Amino acid sequence: MPYKKPTIEKLYYSIGEVAEMFNLNSSHIRFWEKEFDIIKPRKNKKGNRLFTPEDIKNFHLIYHLVKERGLTLNGAKLKLLENKEDTEHNFEIVEKLKEIKETLLEIRKDLD
């Protein structure tokens, strides 16, 4: 699971921090930002991108669709345009199941 949940919740994350969370290059983050309308980082006076936790959540959703489910960028865009709420709901279910699996694996390891 390449996504690394941040240990400290911040108001804004730099592009480097976001790239590190998803184990991607900064250029990949910029590309997805251009491709998907749901990602709208703020920019400071220097022009540096500042991503909110909502942007991170949207990146995680896009990452799930493209990298984990294997959709193309156009497929992911269509999925988000057609029914974003349903897609988010399914994503949340998958994430909860992954957490349950991790917990069960830890319990199994402790029992051995």
29-77 pLDDT, tens digit each: 999 999 998 899 999 899 899 999 999 989 989 998 898 889 899 998 8
Q: pLDDT tens-digit profile of 1-37? A: 566 666 667 888 999 999 998 999 999 999 999 999 8
Please tell me whether residue 30 adopts helix, strand or coil conformation. helix
Asked, for residue 69, whether it belongs to a domain, the answer is yes
Number of domains in the chain: 1
pTM: 0.75
Asked, for residue 87, whether it belongs to a domain, the answer is no
Asked, for residue 89, whether it belongs to a domain, the answer is no
Q: How far is CA 53 from CA 7, 46, 71, 111, in A?
A: 13, 21, 24, 37
Containing domain of residue 61, as a range? Answer: 15-82
Asked, for residue 7, whether it belongs to a domain, the answer is no
> Which two structure tokens, joined as six digits, stand for 9?
């919740």
Asked, for residue 19, whether it belongs to a domain, the answer is yes
- CATH code of 41's domain: 1.10.1660.10
